């Protein structure tokens, strides 16, 4: 990326005796996965553009433990949670935003009973907030009239009933929003959840991401929008399986907004 | 001799209700084999769920065709059963259509007329249900777990309903005094001519239909315990005890929390004797390998499941040909719980180890590992059953008690332990993306 991103850490804020507006929880995928890192940077670009006073934990952040919990390893989850909560509480974090619905769900719902109480929002909710308060405006017409279909991430949609924020944000790009047959509450999983991302699928007739990609293709989209790094990987793979990668791109809402 | 029918009626009624009560007691005992769970929170929201989801059928109508048909059968069955009240009073006291003495003729006529119309609507819907199962053969009624008893069970219930509705109409059609009343026989007046006009024959048919109707209802009531049809009762408590949290929230195991706290506490003495009067040791096992390890709400879920298969038809794993079927998870849990219950009955109230368990003998690892925890099954269930919570509980057992996770998942977890990410990257590289 040519332009310099400003990514202050909590440690730096602490040294200056300041508190940021929000903590940006980057998450493991957002930190290490090549595709997801682009989403992370796109979101930082948005935060910079809207002059949001934010910080990341940087090397002090560790995996939320979400995936371990869903794999059945409650020990590992709680170890991770307790460690992260110690760091977050030491920095007196109040508000967290993340691009990963799995981290979002875990921090929001599963950390409180272990002593971690924060106001946690998903980046699509936060972008919507920035737009409604006038801190972020879309000037360009990059996506005007483009056919975009939004794939609801399970841990954003069904798990936490966040269906409108991503759609409201997408509408601001003046794109043509087309819904898949299965959407919102009945949306089909991309196939990555519940630790499936990290293992081969069980024997079956087809892969879940391919079935979900078929759902998306039925809407004849130019872009498949997601709000989750894992969904992004799964849908991107699905598009490749269907040999449609030259016509259709899979993009996170943060990227769409950052490009607008 | 005059009171013979009344006495006979009372005996049948007591037997019918008594046997049912005995089985309900057994059902409650079986559910209590599960772990206790606190659901004393959010009372008003829980009642709201009962009213909307169970009474109001709000989730049933998400699928309009089956939802609409179901609402008819549901409303019909509840309302027509008001008639049972009259039958019981008549039967016990030897009266005939006591309602006519208590209510103005027009009101009574209106009520029975409404019952007759509903009875026809129920008949039509039930036939439509039968066609869906046996002629159109909808995919969700044909899964492998639906072979044998579950399939017959589904049809037996429909036959019961057809017979009961027909008996009700015949009973009205052959009741000469009721027909002469001219109120309320909106449907039965058209059936009446089929039975001729011999008063003795009519009376005999009327009595037979009346007796078969009430006996049929009592048999149906007792059939419930052995059938998926228990949902007509258990849907209410089940929606009350259903989760009131966001679906994504999984419970944190308290026993683990205690151990983790101990591990993280630098001042903790690992060899310290437990404090006087301290809680008993950590539970014997983490997660669930058998029904007794599940909690009571999960066991109630299993008895409530009516095997409609909406969960399975929305499950991404099942849709792509994997073995996992959330409906089967619920059916297996109930089957195993019944097996344990019978074992207890046979062994004078004590469970004798039968060398079997839910995990392995009923539910395989392959099914459990196919779940994406996407909550589609939970979202679909019209009566707030949560198959996912059982799957997770059994994964916990596999991982924490048996270290039996698939190898790739073990690698992933080792990575998290070592470097705080599911991949083998250095923790110190976590912010590198900033400068890439």
Asked whether the beta carbons of residue A37 and residue B245 sit closer than 8 angstroms, the reply is no
**pLDDT at residue A138 greater than cutoff 50:** yes
Q: How far is CA B74 from CA A17, B54, B55, B80, B214, in A?
A: 64, 11, 9, 10, 19
Helix (H, G, I), strand (E, B) or coil at B432: helix
Whether residue B277 is contained in a domain is answered as: no
Q: How many domains does chain B have?
A: 2
Could you write out the three-class secondary structure of chain A? CCCCCCCCEHHHHHHCCCCCCEEEECHHHHHHCHHHHHHHHHHHHHHHHCCCCEEECHHHCCCCCHHHHHHCCHHHHHHHHHHHHHHHHHCCCCEEEECCHHHHHHHHHHCHHHCCCCEEEEHHHHHHHHHHCCCCCCCCCCCCCCEEEECCCCCCCCCCCCCHHHHHHHHCCCCEECCCCCCHHHCCCCCCCCCHHHCCCCCCCCCHHHHHHHHHHCCCCCEEEECCHHHHHHHHHHHHHCCCCCCCEEEEHHHHHHHC
How many Å lie between the alpha carbon of B200 and the closest alpha carbon of chain A?
Answer: 59
Please state, in angstroms and rounded to a whole number, the distance separating the CA atoms of residues B232 and B75: 12
Residue A102 contacts residue A66 (beta carbons within 8 Å): yes
What is the chain B residue with the closest CA to A83?
Answer: B264
Residue B16 contacts residue B218 (beta carbons within 8 Å): yes
Q: What digits encode the pLDDT tens for the residues A203-248?
A: 999 999 999 999 999 999 999 999 999 999 999 999 999 999 999 9
Q: What digits encode the pLDDT tens for the residues B230-287?
A: 999 999 999 999 999 999 999 999 989 988 888 877 777 766 665 555 555 555 689 9
Q: How far is CA B413 from CA A159, B101, B360, B369, in A?
A: 23, 75, 24, 15
Element (H, E) at B194: none
Q: Are residues B224 and B293 in the same domain?
A: no
CATH fold, domain A138-259, is Rossmann fold (3.40.50)
- What's B396's domain CATH number? 1.10.1060
**pLDDT at residue A1 greater than cutoff 60:** no
How many Å lie between the alpha carbon of B358 and the closest alpha carbon of chain A?
Answer: 17
Q: What digits encode the pLDDT tens for the residues B303-331?
A: 999 999 999 999 999 999 999 999 999 99
Chain B residues touching A185 at Cβ < 8 A: 379
Give the residue from A202, A228, A235 with the most B CB atoms within 10 Å of its CB, the best one to mutate: A202
The pLDDT value given to residue A134: 96
Q: Are residues B314 and B379 in the same domain?
A: yes
The residues spanned by each domain of chain A are: 10-129, 138-259
Whether residue B264 is contained in a domain is answered as: no
Please state, in angstroms and rounded to a whole number, the distance separating the CA atoms of residues A108 and B404: 29
User: Residue B273: CB partners within 8 Å, gap ≥ 6?
Assistant: none
Whether residue B175 is contained in a domain is answered as: yes
How many Å lie between the alpha carbon of A174 and the closest alpha carbon of chain B?
Answer: 30
Q: Other CB atoms closer than 10 Å to residue B101's CB: what's the count?
A: 9
Is the fold of A10-129 the same as that of A138-259?
no
Please state, in angstroms and rounded to a whole number, the distance separating the CA atoms of residues B372 and A189: 8
Whether residue B3 is contained in a domain is answered as: no
Q: Are residues B168 and B87 in the same domain?
A: yes
Q: Are residues B408 and B342 in the same domain?
A: yes
Whether residue B157 is contained in a domain is answered as: yes
Just give the CATH number of A10-129: 1.20.1050
What mean pLDDT, rounded, does chain A reach? 96
Give the residue from B285, B422, B428, B429 with the most A CB atoms within 10 Å of its CB, the best one to mutate: B422
Whether residue B123 is contained in a domain is answered as: yes
Q: Are residues B195 and B226 in the same domain?
A: yes
Q: Are residues B177 and B247 in the same domain?
A: no
Q: Are residues B76 and B217 in the same domain?
A: yes
Q: Nearest by CB to A109, from B246, B287, B429: name it.
A: B246
Asked whether the beta carbons of residue B420 and residue A78 sit closer than 8 angstroms, the reply is no
Residue B355's domain spans which residues? Answer: 32-36+242-258+285-424
Q: What digits encode the pLDDT tens for the residues A12-58?
A: 999 999 999 999 999 999 999 999 999 999 999 999 999 999 999 99
Using CA of residue B105, residue B107, residue B109, residue B112, what is the dihedral sign?
negative
What is the chain B residue with the closest CA to A190?
Answer: B316
* DSSP conformation class of B279: P
**pLDDT at residue A2 greater than cutoff 60:** no
Q: Are residues B138 and B246 in the same domain?
A: no
Chain A residues touching B247 at Cβ < 8 A: 158-160
Q: Are residues B224 and B292 in the same domain?
A: no
Q: Are residues B207 and B311 in the same domain?
A: no
Q: Are residues B210 and B250 in the same domain?
A: no
Whether residue B267 is contained in a domain is answered as: no
The pLDDT value given to residue B265: 77
Split chain B (436 residues) into runs of 10 and give each run's mean pLDDT: 87 96 97 96 97 96 95 91 91 91 92 94 97 94 93 96 95 93 91 91 94 95 96 97 97 90 76 58 80 97 97 97 98 98 95 96 98 98 98 97 96 96 96 93
The pLDDT value given to residue B278: 52
- ipTM score here? 0.95
Whether residue B307 is contained in a domain is answered as: yes
Give the residue from A1, A26, A73, A158 with the most B CB atoms within 10 Å of its CB, the best one to mutate: A73
Q: Are residues B246 and B216 in the same domain?
A: no
What mean pLDDT, rounded, does chain B reach? 93
How many Å lie between the alpha carbon of B125 and the closest alpha carbon of chain A?
Answer: 26
What is the chain B residue with the closest CA to A58?
Answer: B431
Q: What digits encode the pLDDT tens for the residues B113-122?
A: 999 999 999 9
């Amino acid at each position: 990326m040519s332009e310099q991103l400003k990514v202050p850490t909590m440690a730096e804020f602490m040294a200056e005796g300041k508190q940021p507006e929000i903590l940006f929880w980057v998450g493991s995928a957002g930190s290490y996965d090549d595709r997801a890192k682009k989403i992370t940077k796109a979101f930082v670009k948005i935060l910079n553009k809207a002059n949001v006073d934010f910080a990341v934990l940087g090397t002090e952040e560790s995996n939320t433990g979400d995936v371990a919990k869903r794999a059945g390893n409650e020990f590992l989850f709680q170890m991770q949670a307790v460690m992260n909560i110690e760091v977050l509480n030491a920095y007196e974090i109040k508000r967290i935003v993340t691009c990963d619905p799995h981290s979002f769900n875990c921090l929001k719902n599963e950390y409180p009973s272990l002593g971690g109480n924060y106001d946690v929002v998903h980046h699509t909710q936060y972008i919507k907030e920035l737009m409604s308060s006038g801190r972020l405006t879309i000037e360009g017409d990059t996506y005007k009239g483009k056919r975009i279909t939004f794939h609801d991430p399970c841990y954003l949609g069904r798990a936490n009933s966040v269906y409108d924020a991503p759609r409201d944000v997408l509408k601001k790009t003046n794109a043509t929003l087309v819904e898949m047959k299965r959407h919102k509450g009945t949306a089909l999983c991309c196939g990555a959840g519940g630790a499936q991302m990290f293992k081969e699928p069980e024997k079956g007739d087809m892969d879940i991401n391919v079935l979900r990609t078929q759902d998306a293709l039925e809407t004849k989209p130019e872009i498949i929008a997601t709000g989750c790094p894992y969904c992004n990987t799964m849908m991107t793979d699905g598009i490749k399986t269907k040999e449609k990668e030259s016509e259709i791109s899979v993009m996170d809402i943060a990227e769409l907004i950052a490009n607008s | 001799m005059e009171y013979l029918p009344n006495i006979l009626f009372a005996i049948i009624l007591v037997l019918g209700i008594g046997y049912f009560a005995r089985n309900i007691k057994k059902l409650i005992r079986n559910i209590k084999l599960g772990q206790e769970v606190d659901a004393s929170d959010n009372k008003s929201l829980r009642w709201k769920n009962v009213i909307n989801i169970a009474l109001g059928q709000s989730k049933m109508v998400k699928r309009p065709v089956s939802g609409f048909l179901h609402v008819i059968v549901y409303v019909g069955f509840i309302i027509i059963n008001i008639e049972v009240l009259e039958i019981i009073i008549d039967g016990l006291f030897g009266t005939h259509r006591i309602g006519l003495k208590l209510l103005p003729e027009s009101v009574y006529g209106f009520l029975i007329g409404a019952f007759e119309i509903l009875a026809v609507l129920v008949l039509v819907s039930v036939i439509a249900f039968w066609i869906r199962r046996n002629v159109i053969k909808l995919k969700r009624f044909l899964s492998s777990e639906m072979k044998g008893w579950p399939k017959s069970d589904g049809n037996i219930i429909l036959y019961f309903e057809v017979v009961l509705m027909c008996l009700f109409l015949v009973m009205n059609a052959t009741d000469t005094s009721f027909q002469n009343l001219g109120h309320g026989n909106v449907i039965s007046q058209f059936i009446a001519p089929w039975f001729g006009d011999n008063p003795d024959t009519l009376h005999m048919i009327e009595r037979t239909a009346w007796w078969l109707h009430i006996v049929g209802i009592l048999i149906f009531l007792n059939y419930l315990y052995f059938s998926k049809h228990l949902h007509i009762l258990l849907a209410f408590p089940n929606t009350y005890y259903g989760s009131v949290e966001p679906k994504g929230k999984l419970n944190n195991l308290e026993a683990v929390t205690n151990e983790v706290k101990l591990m993280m506490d630098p001042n903790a003495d690992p060899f310290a004797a437990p404090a006087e009067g301290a809680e008993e040791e950590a539970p014997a096992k983490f997660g669930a390998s058998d029904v007794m390890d599940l909690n009571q709400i999960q066991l109630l879920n299993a008895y409530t499941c009516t095997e409609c298969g909406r969960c399975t038809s929305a499950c991404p794993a099942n849709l792509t040909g994997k073995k996992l079927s959330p409906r089967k998870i619920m059916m297996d849990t109930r089957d195993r719980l019944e097996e344990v219950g019978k074992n207890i009955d046979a062994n004078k109230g004590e469970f004798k180890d039968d060398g079997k368990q839910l995990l392995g003998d009923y539910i395989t690892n392959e099914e459990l590992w196919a779940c994406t925890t996407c909550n589609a099954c939970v979202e679909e269930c019209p009566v707030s059953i949560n198959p996912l919570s059982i799957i997770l509980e059994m994964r916990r057992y596999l991982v924490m008690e048996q270290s039996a996770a698939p190898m790739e998942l073990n690698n992933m977890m080792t990575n998290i332990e070592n470097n705080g990410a599911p991949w083998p990257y250095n923790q110190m590289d976590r912010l590198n993306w900033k400068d890439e």
